[in-house]
A and B are shown apart, each in its own frame.
Chain A
Amino acid sequence: MDISEILIHQLETLFLLTPQEREQLQGDLKPLKEKRLRH
């Protein structure tokens, strides 16, 4: 599970994302899948 999936999961759990919002976020966070986010 990468950072974008964790974020979407958190938002869905807490704020009930609509399918459009989920799709939008997935598209916006796509570049992160190639880059690893360091702590």
Chain B
Amino acid sequence: MYCNFLYQLSHYEYIRGNTTIADKVYSLNKMLHGVDLFYEISLPKHWSCEHPVGTVMGRAKYGDYFFFYQGCTVGGSWHREKLYYPTIGKGVMMYSDSKVLGNSHIGDHVILSANAYVINEDIPNNCTVFGQSPHLTVKKRLIE
């Protein structure tokens, strides 16, 4: 998957101090796929996406086996003059146009449904999230 490869390469070049190359590879990824995966963010070892046009992955702590679709946003948000970033657990799936912002803690194996908007909320493990903060609908899934 070329999008994944270009992010890994830009992140690798950034870690090695080659920021001009990292910048060019990052821009190429943005031009080709319409996805903003900045080289300074640390995506997990295993992650994937499907037609990720319009997705912006910002600073956050990402758990392994992360997956996202188009139009998703993860990023910081100001609260009482302090900038907070989300924490995302293992095996989280973000469906189209879902957003996770600010001081949010997303548990393991959470599914964020299409258009879900989570800001400054804690979501427990194994849940599916619908709607918008502060009126989220959180449904527990039974895991066999």
Contacts and interface: CB of A to CB of B under 8 A. Distances in A.
- What class of interface size applies to chain B in its complex with A? 10 to 19
A25 B21 contact: yes
B137 interface: no
9 contacts: A10-B28, A10-B32, A11-B25, A15-B28, A17-B24, A21-B18, A21-B20, A24-B21, A28-B12
A7 B13 CA distance: 14
Which secondary structure characterizes the binding site on chain A? helix
Interface of B: 1-2, 5-6, 9, 12-13, 18, 20-21, 24-25, 27-28, 31-32
A36 B2 CA distance: 13
Nearest to B18: A24
